[in-house]
Structure 1
Amino acid sequence: MTNPHPQIHPHAAPARPEGRYEVVVVGGGAAGLAGASTLARARRSVLVIDAGHPRNAPAAGVHTYLAREGTPPADLLAAGRAEVAGYGGGIRPGTVASAERRPEGDFRVTLADGAAVLADRLLVTTGLTDDLPAVPGLADGWGRYVLHCPYCHGWEVRDRAVGILGTGPFAVHQALLWRQWSDRITLFLHTAPEPDAEAYEQLAARGIAVVGGEVARLAADGGRLTGVELAGGRRIPCDAMAVAPRFTANSGVLEGLGLEAEEQEMGGHVMGTRIPADPVGATAVPGVWVAGNVASLAEQVIGAAAAGVRAGAAINADLVAADTRRAVAAARTARAGAGALGGPAAAHSPR
């Protein structure tokens, strides 16, 4: 039987010189904490540096997270930090200003306050920024009645009047998708291209209303959306608005290491930027891994946590290989030294 909230840690990572860690994790969201927990359980010295600005902070609860349904984001992160600490990992509040490789081969991570720590490996889980369309009222309701993912929030607005703010070629797809949760869907074309005849036929068949013209603002009262006001002054009642932000990877800390974000497209449309990496998060820079939304734009919280676990395991495997290489080199040096002195160690060489 396992204890999900360890209070003692008899298998904590071996002590290291102050300011040096085997792994520094930049970002303390689901991906970062899951990766740190995996590494701490592997008895690695690990430090999580967290700026304290989680992407999902405005949301009331985390959804589609098995056995954690509806957990407030702050509570989920607090539990994650406690688990990392329970296995001997460190948590440090702060913003990382830069990371660079030293001539010795390790990394120096410098914080905004000027402090610095050293790391043998880096796991960057800095997430992304949701760049919302420039419509007054959108930002005020973000994460509450302004939504983007039906799998995250669709159940909570089921059977309600949901608007779709059209800003690109996927507006029709969004409207048809959200129709699964409510039969009261209105597609506001706003700046999206005019649907073709086939798209109009699909929308009509599903009972989705289409409203032309640009949206001027969202009207709210008491923290609730009351309507969508068009440029001409017409107001249409609405309970929630679905949008498609541009997803921008928070990749600044990686620039000093030579890693740049690349655009990610879907159907020929740029959805945002991400840091390219292999399936376990390894980047083109040896010793640097990424996990979560900084590497995968569509990752939900549970997926980000899973990515952190995969990256953590890959980092530990990489460190095991490095430890083994050093041990073999040390053993060979010892045998060579003993042989030069005529000592008995030379007689124990493997055949």
Structure 2
Amino acid sequence: MKTAPEQKDVVIIGGGPAGLSAALMLGRARKQVLLCDGGSPRNSAAEGIHGFVTRDGIPPKEFRRIAHEQLAPYGVDLLLDTRVTAVERLEPGFRVVLAGGRVVEARRVLLATGMIDEPPELPGYRELWGRSIFQCPYCHGWEVRDRPWGLLATGAPALDFALFITGWSRDLVVFTQGAVEVTAEQHQRLERAGVRLETRKIRRLVASTGHGAQGAHLEAVELEDGTRVAREVLFAHPPQRQTEVVQRLGVALDEQGFVRINEHMETSIPGVHAAGDLTTRLQGASMAAGAGAVAGAMMNHALNMENAAAGLWPEG
């Protein structure tokens, strides 16, 4: 006899700050929640999470451990190191297929998958990611303030970003690799701010010998002619793409490739919500957690209204 699929109010795909925050909101609202954490967090290389009040500097693993512990009283079903392979629409609800073949049916789905970074094929880049190469000055700028910084510019918007990050360090070199056209006005603005431009291509990033648990850190940017520009920090924003499950689901994306959501945190597919880095370039743990809380509240409101209309009551 065939077993009926497991039933949940909400399946959350992604176990970072957005997904965990939504799970907490929904669990406390007496909803049956399954959270699937694929086990490959974007911030795994970071030494600490910053800008998160009461948790400033906490290691990512410890952040997750505490979150899992605090979800326990609310009956949230946590599946760690478990990927979602497909989300299929039903009438009503959704069929969620997990790696290994487990199937769960849900009334709502939350996408909290984050984005996949695609680092450039630049020698030294991958090894220094999260140690000396960062995306967000709010997350890491304080710890490396006033040190020699570099910025890897991949487009014209990076020139304005260069002016912005002088708030953390006035010793800044922008590496354009000859791929960014800089107008005379932009030259003047950068020069006025004390920002130097380097247009030669980068051959590799030179790292120091690792010291204990801290590992190697950036020492210099080596250019194509062998010149070395001493830098201790490099800011860069590599291209990003959506996860496979988001792509296969087919939700609408904006012109920058982020998932479009409305004021209810709902995607172009009714009943599928999204929160966190996959919806915005304003990426960070505290922003993602806030978005997750809003998404959880929005989904709970919709579920409560449906329950009230049908005369249903929460279990337990």
Q: Could you state the TM-score of these two structures normalised by the residue count of structure 2?
A: 0.91
> Partner of 1:239 in structure 2?
232
**In structure 2, what is the Cα distance between the partners aligned to 1:199 and 1:258?**
39
* One-letter identity of the residue aligned with 1:262: D
Pairwise CA distance, 1:18 = 7.5
| Alpha-carbon distance between aligned partners in 2 of 1:287 and 1:295, rounded to the nearest angstrom | 16
Aligned to 1:225: 218
Matched, 1:249 2:236: no
* Residues 255/206 of structure 1: CA separation in 2 closer, same or farther (3 Å cut): closer
AA matched with 2:132? Y
Asked if residue 283 in structure 1 is aligned to residue 267 in structure 2, the reply is yes
Q: Tell me the residue number matched to 1:164.
A: 151
Q: CA deviation at 1:194?
A: 3.2
Name the CA distance, whole Å, in 1 between partners of 2:287 and 2:96: 27
2:304 to 302, 320, 323: 320
Shift of 1:255: 4.4
Report if aligned partners of 1:188, 1:212 keep a CA contact under 8 Å in 2.
yes
Task: Please say which of residues 38-47 and 237-246 is displaced more in the overlay.
Answer: 237-246
How is 1:97-108 mapped onto 2 (pairs within 5 angstroms)? 97-103=85-91, 105-108=92-95
CA contact (8 A) 1:249 1:295 kept: no
- Displaced runs of 4+ in structure 1, greater than 4 A? none
> What aligned pairs does 1:173-192 form with structure 2 within 5 A after superposition?
173-192=160-179
Aligned residue number for residue 83 of structure 2: 95
Q: Conserved in 1, the CA contact under 8 Å of 2:252 and 2:268? A: no
Deviation of 1:226 after TM superposition, in Å, equals 1.0
- The answer as to 2:288 corresponding to 1:301 is no
When Rg is computed on C-alpha atoms for both structures, the one with the higher figure is 1
Which amino acid counterpart does residue 139 of structure 2 have in structure 1?
A: C
2: distance between equivalents of 1:114 and 1:83? 28
Structure 1 unaligned blocks of 5 or more = 1-16, 265-272, 329-351
1:22 paired residue number: 9
Determine which of 196, 202, 206 is the counterpart of 1:215.
202
The equivalent of 1:261 in structure 2 is: 253
Distance 1:297 1:184 in 2: 25
Partner of 2:60: 73
**Which of 25, 31, 35 is the equivalent residue of 1:48?**
35
- C-alpha deviations, 1:33-70, integer Å up to 9, x for none? 10011000001110101101111111111111111110
Superposed CA deviations along residues 140-192 of structure 1, whole A, max 9, x for unmatched, are 11111011111111111111011111211123212212211112111112143
| Superimposed CA distance per residue, residues 184-241 of structure 1 (whole angstroms, 9 cap, x where no aligned partner) | 1111121432321111112211222222211111010221111100011111111011
Looking at structure 1, the residues matched to 158 and 16 of structure 2 have their Cα atoms a distance apart, in angstroms, of 30
Contact 2:5 2:103 in 1 (8 A): no
SS in 2 for 1:28: coil
Match in the other structure for 2:22: 35
Letter in structure 1 aligned against 2:20:
L
Aligned Cα RMSD in Å? 1.7
Cα distance in 1 for partners of 2:264, 2:241 equals 21
Report deviation, 1:262: 3.4
- Describe the superposition over 1:264-297 as per-residue Cα deviations: whole angstroms up to 9, x where unpaired: 2xxxxxxxx1111113311121211111011122
Alpha-carbon distance in structure 2 between the residues aligned to 1:312 and 1:301: 16
Corresponding residue number in structure 1 for 2:118: 131
Which of structures 1 and 2 has the larger relative contact order (alpha carbons within 8 angstroms, sep 6+)?
2
Give 1:202's aligned amino acid: R
Amino acid at match of 1:200: H
| Equivalent-residue separation in structure 1 for 2:181 and 2:270 (angstroms) | 46
| Structure 2 unaligned regions, length at least 5 | 211-215
Distance 2:227 2:35 in 1: 50
- In the alignment, the residues of structure 2 paired with residue 281 and residue 69 of structure 1 have an alpha-carbon distance, to the nearest angstrom, of 27
TM-score, normalised with respect to structure 1: 0.82
Aligned AA (2:155): G
